[in-house]
Amino acid sequence: MAGIRGKNTKPELQIRFGLHALGFRYRLHPREIPGKPDLWLPKYKAAIYVHGCFWHGHDCSLFKLPRTRQDFWHAKIDTNRARDVRVAEMLAERDIRWLSIWECAFRGPGRIGLEETLAQTATWLRSEESWGEIRGRL
């Protein structure tokens, strides 16, 4: 697990470069924002988190619990899910908007692709919605 990157993953880089090309400006992993979001857009008071479906236990075709050490993996993924809930609550308390972009939007049989993901992200940023989620098709 030490080799698993938490920052600068391929999906995160794709979102960063795509949004920058669309004219959005952001900060990376600011410590003062709960959960240290992958992208922080102060102009929109919006945090964007790019989640891996396995690590956050997403209900999609990309999540499959390993057969070995199941107790460990249940605990690990449950802890990650609980942290996601706590972060969402802290963001709401601070009146910060947040968007979760799931890995299945880029990979797997239900992927919607980068262009659609970027279009949905830009639409959400320009909206007044307090939170959002972009995922692959079921």
Question: Cβ neighbours of residue 6 under 8 Å, at least 6 residues apart?
Answer: none
CA atoms within a 13 Å half-sphere pointing along the CA-CB vector of 57: 14
Confidence of residue 4 (pLDDT cuts 50, 70, 90): low
The residue segments making up the domain with residue 50 are 1-27+40-59+80-108+119-138
With 70 as the cut, is the pLDDT of residue 126 above it? yes
Q: What is the pLDDT of residue 131?
A: 97
Mean of the pLDDT values across residues 14-29? 97
Q: What is the pLDDT of residue 7?
A: 76
Is 33 part of any domain? no
Is 67 part of any domain? no
Is 73 part of any domain? no
User: How many domains is the chain built from?
Assistant: 1
Question: What is the C-alpha separation between 14 and 6, in angstroms, rounded?
Answer: 15
Nearest to 48 by CA among 3, 5, 13: 13
Q: Which of 16-20, 35-39, 58-62, 69-73 has the lowest mean pLDDT?
A: 58-62
With 50 as the cut, is the pLDDT of residue 2 above it? no
Is 47 part of any domain? yes
Is 13 part of any domain? yes
With 50 as the cut, is the pLDDT of residue 117 above it? yes
In residues, how long is the chain? 138
Does the pTM surpass 0.85? The reply is: yes
91: domain CATH number is 3.40.960.10
Confidence of residue 93 (pLDDT cuts 50, 70, 90): very high
